[in-house]
Amino acid sequence: MTTFSLGETDFLLDGRPHQVISGTLHYFRIHPEHWADRIRTARAMGLNTIETYVAWNAHEPVKGEWDATGWNDLGRFLDLIADEGLHAIVRPGPYICAEWHNGGLPVWLTSTPGIGIRRSEPQFVEAVTAYLRRVYEIVAPRQIDRGGNVVLVQIENEYGAYGSDKEYLRELVRVTKEAGITVPLTTVDQPMPWMLEAGSLPELHLTGSFGSRSAERLETLREHQPTGPLMCSEFWDGWFDWWGSIHHTTDPAASAHDLDVLLAAGASVNIYMVHGGTNFGTTNGANDKGRFDPIVTSYDYDAPIDESGHPTAKFHAFREVIAKYAPVPADVPAPRPAAPAFTVSLSGEGDWMPAVDGSPRPAPASFEQLGHLGPLVRYDVDLPAFTGPAALVFDEVRDLAWVHVDGTPVGRLSRSLHERALTLPAGSRLTVLVEDQGRVNYADRLGEPKGLIGEVTLNGEPLTGWTATPVDLDTVEGSGTGAVGRAFLRGSFDLDAPADLFLDTAAWGKGYAFVNGFFLGRYWNNVPQNTLYVPGPATRAGANEIVVLELEHALEPVARFVAEPSLGQLEE
């Protein structure tokens, strides 16, 4: 039996000192047919371990409907890691942050009346217990002391930045051990004394999350973890992007230097991210620290392995550093080849807005009240007789709203810009299309409702009698009749063989794109992201179809596929 344990100063693998050199891959951000390739490429950089979060809301988007197949086949992902001779670290949360929608927590959970998120509140603990037991059914038999490859399991995630409920943490530990987890249990927090003290328990092994000033951070960590191995379990080698900002990058040489300092100190490391992947569909999260900032579709993260799975300059810089401390494979992956470049004409098939459906309510229903997990809801209400213009005021719009009177657009309101009022012309029918741009993944806004929140007034008088119609993106079709701006666009193209593609979205406004029914994600003519990644397994030899749901206005009814990605302007 192979053993993995905590020694006085090191991790011990079969009793011998062992330095963990790990990198993060999120199975839920990578097409399953690419899992083995991404793991193999990470191994070529010199890693001996792969780490992943578990996204609860990917496995159980609807309460009681647990899924661990296909994209959610965590067991297969861990087995593929083992096939490459690598260890695995599992971080099941239940909260993961990760710039992933709702921090990984299911909407049905966070919208439960009276629930206490991330603390020892009975409803939350009951649900988390059931979730963790399901995860550990997959993880427990794959632990290293049972012939598998899992060496560490993390309890919660950066909990000291959120709370200090020790009873909650103890309950998570109890459930974890009861489920048969015997490998060492860890926590992670930024190396700030108050976070390290609040976020762990004496029986859990503290690790740190940081991306620079490695020696200083390790010193702080050692003050709070007097014995055992030092570990940076989130070494931030890049950063994420949000709409309206730049494309964030870090200098490969500077990141490699900080990695070198960590490894030279004998510390173990998990590189976050070694390969970021993509927020396919509408899985992106958002942050709100006074301004609502939804995350873009790409999760490239300026990682050593780029969004399409190829090595970057950072890969080679990191590999050179790792080679000083551990053996690295001889084979080096090839650089990214140019993708096929071509243009596809799109046929405009009219508006895709669904017809009004549902009974009127006094106030607009939230997405949660509708049980709707998609990004769009149509709201309608009859207007009282008035002579325009009039002031239309919303308590709050979450997150972007297009306002129409009698079918004519009159304006757009953005939560990011703190907009919630506009001037309305006279008319009889108000229609508001609202987009959930991404659920906040951090701090106390976890689980907040989406849609039109609170009261809507016209010249100070409440509007009542609202219908709310969820938009199902899987079933929408063009109506055949035109609309100002909003459009359903379709085209076809041939490929000699399946291939990774990069879809240039610069000629469109805002919306969603699909290839052969595969939901690539959101696009927007807001900065920074200019292309969407199309994974090769979503394409096929012969005929392929592209569908675009445009929310605003497509300047050109064409789809351009380009040779390489464009993720936006860098900081000067």
Mean pLDDT, the chain, rounded, equals 97
Q: What are the tens digits of pLDDT across the range 317-354?
A: 999 999 999 999 999 999 999 999 999 999 988 899 99
Rounded to whole angstroms, how far apart are CA atoms 355 and 116?
37
Q: Which domains does the chain have, with CATH numbers?
A: 18-322 (3.20.20.80), 342-350+477-562 (2.60.120.260), 367-470 (2.60.120.260)
pLDDT number for residue 358: 87
Catalytic residue among 234, 307, 435, 550: 234
DSSP-derived secondary structure for 28-78 = GGS-GGGHHHHHHHHHHTT-SEEEEE--HHHH-SSTT----SGGG-HHHHH
| Residue owning tokens 């993961």 | 96
Q: What are the tens digits of pLDDT across the range 143-155?
A: 999 999 999 999 9
Contact between residue 489 and residue 550 where contact means Cβ atoms under 8 Å apart: yes
Contact between residue 75 and residue 88 where contact means Cβ atoms under 8 Å apart: no
pLDDT number for residue 482: 61
pLDDT number for residue 348: 86
9 by DSSP, 3-state: which? coil
Sheet with 400-405, strands from edge to edge, namely 408-414, 400-405, 429-435, 376-382, 467-470
pLDDT number for residue 483: 57
Query: Residue 419 is encoded by which pair of tokens?
Result: 């907009």
This prediction's pTM: 0.98
555 by DSSP, 3-state: which? coil
Q: Is it true that the peptide bond before 389 is cis, omega within 30 degrees of 0?
A: yes
Rounded to whole angstroms, how far apart are CA atoms 476 and 472?
6
In tens digits, what is the pLDDT along the chain, a chain of 572 residues? 899 999 999 999 999 999 999 999 999 999 999 999 999 999 999 999 999 999 999 999 999 999 999 999 999 999 999 999 999 999 999 999 999 999 999 999 999 999 999 999 999 999 999 999 999 999 999 999 999 999 999 999 999 999 999 999 999 999 999 999 999 999 999 999 999 999 999 999 999 999 999 999 999 999 999 999 999 999 999 999 999 999 999 999 999 999 999 999 999 999 999 999 999 999 999 999 999 999 999 999 999 999 999 999 999 999 999 999 999 999 999 999 999 999 999 998 889 999 999 899 999 999 999 999 999 999 999 999 998 799 999 999 999 999 999 999 999 999 999 999 999 999 999 999 999 999 999 999 999 999 999 999 999 999 999 999 999 999 998 887 665 589 999 999 999 999 999 999 999 999 999 999 999 999 999 999 999 999 999 999 999 999 999 999 998 899 999 999 999 998 75
Is 550 annotated as catalytic?
no
Rounded to whole angstroms, how far apart are CA atoms 308 and 360?
46
Catalytic residue among 60, 99, 158, 307: 158
260 by DSSP, 3-state: which? helix
Rounded to whole angstroms, how far apart are CA atoms 206 and 92?
16
User: Cβ neighbours of residue 191 under 8 Å, at least 6 residues apart?
Assistant: 208, 209, 210, 217, 218, 220, 221
Residue among 501, 497, 555 nearest 532 (CA) = 501
pLDDT number for residue 349: 87
Is 158 annotated as catalytic?
yes
Rounded to whole angstroms, how far apart are CA atoms 105 and 95?
6
pLDDT number for residue 484: 58
pLDDT number for residue 479: 82
Can you state the percent helix, strand and coil of the chain, rounding each to 5? Answer: 25, 30, 45
- Tell me the Cα Rg of the chain: 25
Q: What are phi and psi of 218, to 5 degrees?
A: -65, -35
Considering the chain, what percentage of its residues have pLDDT values greater than 90? 96
Q: What are the tens digits of pLDDT across the range 460-517?
A: 999 999 999 999 999 998 887 665 589 999 999 999 999 999 999 999 999 999 999 9
Find residue 431's DSSP bridge partners.
380, 404
Query: Residue 277 is encoded by which pair of tokens?
Result: 């992947």
Eight-class DSSP state of 368? H
pLDDT number for residue 278: 99
Q: What are the tens digits of pLDDT across the range 109-145?
A: 999 999 999 999 999 999 999 999 999 999 999 999 9
pLDDT number for residue 571: 74
